[in-house]
Amino acid sequence: MALAVRISTLTVAVTAAALLAGCERPPVDAVQRGYRGTGMQHIVNPRTLAEQIPTQQAPVATPVADNSGPRANQVFQNVKVLGHLSVAEFTRQMAAITEWVAPTEGCNYCHTENLADDSKYQKVVSRRMLEMTQKVNTQWTQHVAATGVTCYTCHRGNPVPKEIWFTAVPQNKRADFIGNLDGQNQAAKVVGLTSLPYDPFTTFLKEETNVRVYGTTALPTGTSKADIKQAEKTYGLMMHFSGALGVNCTYCHNTNGFGSWDNAAPQRATAWYGIRMARDLNNNFMEGLTKTFPAHRLGPTGDVAKINCSTCHQGAYKPLYGAQMAKDYPGLKPAPAAAAASAVEAAPVDAAASAAPVATVATAAK
């Protein structure tokens, strides 16, 4: 009898310890962001913050080089993106990219002995990534503002960014004998170890799907889908936002009405643009590189790595706490003529996106 009691006590203790392991250890700090009693608080864990601070420090920029003299594409061969820079600034930019992306591998990570050679896939990819960076810094300022992005924003000294995503592997139903999990109920880390749909990225950051929680009518009307499954996918994406930025719901939303834009924080509009920026970059830059990458760099279903909020933010409300690295590297914006041309081409998209996001009651999330 005594042995049974001991075993039961031990079982309860182990179970309790396992459950508590998933909770944050107090104390935590709360910052009030609205009226008292409304739950408008931002929760900060000092221990997590202390661990994060060293990882969110931007490297010191070297002085901008002399812009006089011949252009890089007049001196070097096969320079397609940064050719408008002076030779000195081009060399400085290349040195910075090496430190940002491949500090251990060095120039050989992208180049052969013939620097004009394009035989390495890394060089082809990096050229396209420079174009993507230039687009973000000129056409997605609604999201990145004056801070902008650099290669270091995502790479942080690693050839492959730490935070990327691939399309989730479909469930092996084994002739339907084990049931249909319907893309959820697996406690995935990307959705906060909940049972929510574990691939909200394909739905919202690749496909052009509206983020919805509930509808305004008893029965579905029109083409706007706002059912329970859509709500679960939305909450999955919101869990990702929370972890990626190290914030809770009230960073963007007002507890008075999560679906209302009237009292929402400015960060919600920033996130609205961020969703659309991620779709743009995944579809118009990353997807096009699928055949460029070797098989070992593709996901389990053969798709290319893609970006989400964590790719840049990596747990901070602003990447690198808002350090404005891009302003020190003029090559991360396109040549003036190219920038003007791209702005004209993107005018219809930008015109639609520049207007304040319009929300109805059905728009219960970003």
Question: Where does the pLDDT of residue 355 fall: very low under 50, low under 70, confident under 90, or very high at 90 and above?
Answer: very low
Higher pLDDT, 337 or 194: 194
CB 226 within 8 A of CB 362: yes
- Assess whether 110 and 209 both reside in one domain: no
Q: Which of 167, 126, 141 is nearest to 306 (CA)?
A: 167
- Each residue of 116-157: pLDDT tens digit? 999 999 999 999 999 999 999 999 999 999 999 999 999 999
- Does residue 240 have a known ligand-binding role? no
- Assess whether 206 and 236 both reside in one domain: yes
Report if residue 210 sits inside a domain: yes
- Assess whether 199 and 239 both reside in one domain: yes
Report if residue 53 sits inside a domain: no
Report if residue 291 sits inside a domain: yes
pLDDT mean over 77-102: 96
Burial class (CB in 10 A: 0-12, 13-18, 19+), 109: middle
- Assess whether 215 and 300 both reside in one domain: yes
- Assess whether 296 and 216 both reside in one domain: yes
Question: Which parts of 32-150 fold into alpha helices (H)?
Answer: 46-52, 72-75, 87-101, 121-139, 141-144
- What's 244's domain CATH number? 1.10.468.10
Average per-residue pLDDT for the chain? 84
Question: Where does the pLDDT of residue 354 fall: very low under 50, low under 70, confident under 90, or very high at 90 and above?
Answer: very low
- Assess whether 147 and 258 both reside in one domain: no
Report if residue 174 sits inside a domain: no
Burial class (CB in 10 A: 0-12, 13-18, 19+), 119: exposed
Report if residue 43 sits inside a domain: no
Report if residue 20 sits inside a domain: no
pLDDT mean over 82-95: 96
The total domain count for the chain is 2
- Each residue of 1-60: pLDDT tens digit? 566 666 666 776 676 665 555 566 678 888 888 888 888 888 888 888 888 899 999 999
CB 190 within 8 A of CB 333: no
Q: CA–CA separation, 125 vs 102, rounded Å?
A: 14
- The DSSP element (H or E) to which 230 belongs, if any, is helix 228-245
- Does residue 23 have a known ligand-binding role? no
- Does residue 286 have a known ligand-binding role? no
Query: Angle at the Cα of 180 (from 176 to 186), degrees rounded to 5?
Result: 130
Q: Which long-range contacts (CB under 8 A, 24 or more apart) does 259-262 make?
A: 259/213, 259/214, 259/359, 259/360, 259/361, 259/362, 259/363, 259/364, 259/365, 260/359, 260/361, 261/356, 261/357, 261/358, 261/359, 261/363
- Assess whether 305 and 223 both reside in one domain: yes
Report if residue 2 sits inside a domain: no
Hey, is 170 helix, strand or coil? coil
pLDDT mean over 299-315: 96
- Assess whether 305 and 236 both reside in one domain: yes
- Does residue 239 have a known ligand-binding role? no
Greatest pairwise CA separation for the chain in angstroms? 91
Question: For residue 262, what pLDDT is reported?
Answer: 84
CB 306 within 8 A of CB 282: yes
- Assess whether 84 and 134 both reside in one domain: yes
Domain with 277, as residue range(s), is: 163-169+180-313
- The DSSP element (H or E) to which 309 belongs, if any, is helix 309-313
Report if residue 272 sits inside a domain: yes
- Assess whether 259 and 293 both reside in one domain: yes
